[in-house]
Amino acid sequence: MATPERPTNTKAEGPLAQLAAWEHAVWEHYGGGPVVRQSVRFVLSIALAWLAAHIAHLREPVWSLITAVIVTQGSITQTMSTGRDQIIGTLIGAGTGIAVIGLGLWVMPGWLAFDLALIPLVWLAAWRGTRRFALITLMVIVLFPSEGGPFTRPLDRLLSILCGVGASVVVSYVVLHRPARREAFATAASLLDIVADMITKALDRTADHAQLVAMVESGIEQLFKIDALLTEAARERRAKLAERDPMLSELPSVMRRIHSDAFLVARAVNAGKELLGPHEITPVRETLVQAVNILRDRCRQEAKHGRPMHATAEIPSDFLDEKSRCVFSTTPEMRFVFALLLDDLHRGGRLLWPDAPDHATNTAPQPA
């Protein structure tokens, strides 16, 4: 079996980026799937949490293991969010637990102090679900018996939970984290497939309003996914995403514009604004769909390589060159929406081929 090659395009990347790229290359080569990937991360988080608790000589390392399972998520963004909620909830619950123990020792019966503390934490958990960890921590500190003094128990369990959170965050950053850039461009390619299908069915008049709305909603789901992946990519490195990967940084806005323009074209045709016959509309459809498919294939290239490709300055010669003059219409409404779509397709070309010369000419739709 051939050994996977170490990625060579790491000139401007740090050691963590190179490690992540190498991990992903090995993982893809040996066929690891998302379920196995997350299973490995769970196991390593648990092991690291146990090791940290053991080094800290904590009496109850089991709480660090449980926390590692809760906090370790499928992405850095989700892990950081869950870890933040866990830490805030733990601090609130630990402080409340210490107050309950003190009141139970010197002021009132322990059960009464616990009940009085439980009411506001239940309200807090109901008001903001992410604060339920405060309620869990209070019960862990007060209700579960433990060796040692009454005030060492909350501290020990607090440190155990922090060990679990720390282990999860480290594993999320270092071990097999989700390749956000690859997924973002793969999702953009899927979105462009939807756009091409929408344009085809709209101009051929083979889709009714309900079908067009369904395609638009599918596209919106892909746009939300791209936004989430952009947030994930921004968390992967300390350098700003716009500086280290401007193509990925601008991808959501360009995809959103193309998707919106395609919907405008579809709505205008569906509303009867286009008067061209089937034979006249064919070159218009073919030109637009071809341009969208070229952008889609370029996104798939970026998704395959995982990092910006610097040696691909050649933009396809048939991308909206003279063929764009085939995009014409008999009505001002359709010329307007076609012009919007052509302009944003050119914008997508400039984004995906940043080193290519601007080849756009006067491609405004002409009257029929």
pLDDT (mean) for 300-321: 70
| Residue 19 pLDDT greater than 80, yes or no | no
**Regarding predicted confidence, which is higher, 100 or 15?**
100
Taking only the tens place, the pLDDT of each residue in 21-80 is 555 555 554 455 677 788 888 999 999 999 999 998 888 888 899 889 989 887 788 888
Alpha carbon distance 154, 158 (integer Å): 6
Question: For the whole prediction, is pTM greater than 0.85?
Answer: no
Taking only the tens place, the pLDDT of each residue in 270-306 is 776 565 666 667 777 888 899 999 999 999 988 887 6
Chain centre to alpha carbon of residue 248: 12
**329 has which bridge partners?**
367
Would you state the pLDDT for residue 330?
65
Contacts of 252 (CB under 8 A, 6+ apart): 223, 226, 227, 230
**Least confidently predicted of 16-20, 125-129, 130-134:** 16-20
pLDDT band at 1 (very low <50, low <70, confident <90, very high): very low
Taking only the tens place, the pLDDT of each residue in 195-223 is 999 999 888 888 888 888 899 999 999 99
Would you state the pLDDT for residue 2?
47
pLDDT (mean) for 220-236: 88
Share the mean pLDDT of the chain. 79
Residue boundaries of the structural domains of the chain: 16-23+30-174, 180-367
Alpha carbon distance 68, 44 (integer Å): 9
pLDDT (mean) for 83-106: 86
Would you state the pLDDT for residue 357?
62
**Regarding predicted confidence, which is higher, 303 or 308?**
303
CA angle 242-248-250, nearest 5°? Answer: 70
**367 has which bridge partners?**
329
